[in-house]
Amino acid sequence: MAEVDLLGAKIRSLRRREQLTQVDLAAKLGISASYLNLIEAGKRPLTAPLLLKLADLFQVELQSFASPEDARLVADLMEAFNDPLFQRQGLTSADVRELAVGHPSVAKAVVAMSRAWHEARESAETLATQLTDGEGLVQLDHVRLPSEEVNDFIQRHHNYFPELEDAAERLWRDAPLDPEDRFHSLARYLDRTEGIRVEVVHASQDPSAVRRYDQRTKRLTLSDQLPPHTRNFQLAHQVGLITQSNLFDAKLKGESFATDASRKLSRVVLANYFAAAVLLPYQPFLEAARTDRYDIELLVHRFRSSFEQICHRLTTLRRPGAEGVPFHFLRIDIAGNISKRFSASGIRFARFSGACPRWNVHAAFLTPGMIRVQVSRMLDGTVYFDLARTVRRDSGGYHALHTMQAVGLGCRAEHAKELVYSDGIDLENIDAATPVGISCRLCERLDCEQRVFPPLSHALEIDENVRGISFYAPASGKE
């Protein structure tokens, strides 16, 4: 949703809250009522002087105008109301914007009901499939998936937890940690402060777990099948769970998770964040990223980490006054399932149905281990620069299963020049950008040959005598 539209809706909501007419507010701002009407309708931009006057008049912070939370709420509502259930209601995008900005609590309730409906329907479809196959009954879960709740928790905090960054920096001072031998530094710290013994054991001793902590015996074992960078991460993760438990609880206090599983998963996520902050300290990592122009492979070697860990850490560099490039991040499997997602760039990810097949993160599976770059253009005209590569998860020897996934990292085109991957790419040639959507159901590009579902905003039209570029893309009339 365009920023100018959100600003107009926000101003209209504030004006109505104060029970002012457009004529009244225009007089206070020193502009004409007709010009204010165009601003509220999203047809004229809001100048900086007017923005300052409005903030002073309504006694609100400047950042309250068209915040990222407003944009996400509008996008979530658009996805909810694009369901066929609402097609006959005649809702317009202006209606949705006004609900999101003017009545955010109601809008969030609608989004919550929509998600619950989708997840309940998917559970019902899964049950129907199992009954058809003659398998046993499963219990339907009508609450939100824990992973979805945790993703929202991360997004609300912009994937930045300053308290955990501070705790990681204290650990470096108190341990102290040796940059050349972080594993043994962390192990000695646990032994000295908690009396916990760390051991690396052969995989045959505990084939079902790569990390196990026994609170009774105060023994932490790590599998020798883990590569060194993963072993370091698992050790730092457990250090977080043991030493920062109270901090995790304080951070989660007040969060209204639907299930205990969501809260436990959130603790795991916070421990992961802490581990990354320990192994990839904020300021040194940010300086290295800037110096190396975000060359991920150089950062992998410099910090002895993995490709995915580096990508994920790059999304957390949101410290005020010391911010990195605002990235979005996602991880998918070969079936297209999104297991991780975060957006600081403003890009929108679909919660339901598949992601757009034109994203280069899908094509990464065609060239395993190779970084693929892409300039993409969304429906609203926003241009992004994306890179993607496959990552492997090895769990043992020759007979062990090897899992391949793909990770995608991207930013708005205006930040792309800070990345080494943009060298030689014409970022000004917007016409050459790949048209990308959120998903087929939410994309209105009817001329896409890769469309596999009709858009929710258009009725399916079928002419048995004419075949378009795809089954769901109508052919243009013959002249």
Contact 347, 380 (CB under 8 A): no
Instruction: Check residue 99 and give its pLDDT.
Output: 76
Band (5; pLDDT cuts 50, 70, 90): low
Residue 153 lies in a domain: no
- Say if residue 14 is in the same domain as residue 96: yes
Q: Which residues of 370-405 are buried (b: 16+ CB within 10 A; e: fewer)?
A: ebbbbbbbbeeeebbbbbbbbbeeeeeeeeeeeeeb
Last residue of a domain, one of 262, 279, 296: 279
Whether the pLDDT of residue 351 is over 60: the answer is yes
- Say if residue 273 is in the same domain as residue 322: no
Whether the pLDDT of residue 66 is over 60: the answer is no
Which two three-digit tokens encode residue 427? 């970022």
Instruction: Check residue 97 and give its pLDDT.
Output: 67
Residue 284 lies in a domain: no
Lowest mean pLDDT among 42-56, 153-167, 281-295: 42-56
Instruction: Check residue 137 and give its pLDDT.
Output: 43
Which two three-digit tokens encode residue 346? 């403003």
User: What is the C-alpha separation between 314 and 327, in angstroms, rounded?
Assistant: 7
Band (132; pLDDT cuts 50, 70, 90): very low
- Say if residue 260 is in the same domain as residue 324: no
CATH number of the domain bearing residue 401: 3.30.450
| CB-side neighbour CA atoms (13 Å) of 65 | 26
Instruction: Check residue 455 and give its pLDDT.
Output: 74
Amino acid identity at 403: T
Alpha carbon separation from 186 to 176, 198, 295 (Å, rounded): 9, 9, 28
CATH number of the domain bearing residue 64: 1.10.260.40
Whether the pLDDT of residue 136 is over 60: the answer is no
Whether the pLDDT of residue 474 is over 70: the answer is no
Alpha carbon separation from 233 to 210, 211, 306, 401 (Å, rounded): 12, 11, 10, 21
DSSP result, 326-382: --EEEEEETT--EEEEEESS-----SSSPPPTTSHHHHGGGSTT--EEEEEE-TTS-
Cα 12 versus chain centre, distance: 30
Contact 6, 101 (CB under 8 A): yes
User: What is the C-alpha separation between 280 and 314, in angstroms, rounded?
Assistant: 10
Amino acid identity at 469: I
Whether the pLDDT of residue 353 is over 60: the answer is no
Residue 123 lies in a domain: no
In total, the chain counts a number of residues equal to 479
How many structural domains are present in the chain? 3
| Inter-residue long-range contacts of 99-105, CB under 8 Å, 24+ positions, other chains counted | 100/9, 100/70, 100/73, 100/74, 101/6, 101/9, 101/10, 101/12, 101/13, 101/70, 101/74, 102/9, 102/12, 102/13, 102/16, 104/70, 104/73
Q: Rounded mean pLDDT of 64-70?
A: 60
Pairing state between β 318-319 and 328-333:
unpaired
Contact 342, 328 (CB under 8 A): yes
Please count the other Cβ atoms lying within 10 Å of the Cβ belonging to residue 33: 13
Q: Rounded mean pLDDT of 103-127?
A: 71
User: What is the C-alpha separation between 244 and 166, in angstroms, rounded?
Assistant: 11
- Say if residue 438 is in the same domain as residue 322: yes
Whether the pLDDT of residue 243 is over 70: the answer is yes
Instruction: Check residue 236 and give its pLDDT.
Output: 98
Residue 291 lies in a domain: no
Whether the pLDDT of residue 153 is over 80: the answer is yes
Residue 194 lies in a domain: yes
- Say if residue 377 is in the same domain as residue 436: yes
- Say if residue 104 is in the same domain as residue 168: no
Amino acid identity at 477: G
Band (138; pLDDT cuts 50, 70, 90): very low
Residue 304 lies in a domain: no
**Closest of 259, 39, 234 to residue 143, by C-alpha:** 259
Instruction: Check residue 123 and give its pLDDT.
Output: 58
Residue 180 lies in a domain: yes
DSSP result, 378-428: -TTS-EEEEEEEEEEEE-SSTTS-EEEEEEEEEEEGGGGGGSGGGTT--TT
Tens digits of per-residue pLDDT, 276-302?
999 999 999 999 999 999 999 999 999
Percent of the chain with pLDDT over 90: 47
- Say if residue 261 is in the same domain as residue 359: no
Helices (H), 218-363: 228-243, 245-252, 260-279, 282-291, 296-303, 307-314, 360-363
Report which listed range, 30-44, 60-74, 247-261, is most confident.
247-261
CATH number of the domain bearing residue 256: 1.10.10.2910
Instruction: Check residue 64 and give its pLDDT.
Output: 58
- Say if residue 274 is in the same domain as residue 168: yes
Whether the pLDDT of residue 135 is over 50: the answer is no
User: What is the C-alpha separation between 370 and 421, in angstroms, rounded?
Assistant: 12
Whether the pLDDT of residue 250 is over 90: the answer is yes
Cβ neighbours for 135, distance < 8 A, ≥ 6 positions apart: none
Residue 150 lies in a domain: no
Helices (H), 63-181: 68-81, 93-102, 104-132, 146-156, 162-174
Q: Rounded mean pLDDT of 229-240?
A: 97
- Say if residue 438 is in the same domain as residue 326: yes
User: What is the C-alpha separation between 115 and 144, in angstroms, rounded?
Assistant: 7
Instruction: Check residue 54 and give its pLDDT.
Output: 84
Q: Which residue has the higher pLDDT, 257 or 48?
A: 257
- Say if residue 251 is in the same domain as residue 324: no
Which two three-digit tokens encode residue 100? 């999101």
Instruction: Check residue 130 and give its pLDDT.
Output: 45
Cβ neighbours for 145, distance < 8 A, ≥ 6 positions apart: 119
Provide the residue range defining the domain that includes 49.
Answer: 3-110
- Say if residue 175 is in the same domain as residue 230: yes
- Say if residue 261 is in the same domain as residue 365: no
Contact 78, 92 (CB under 8 A): no
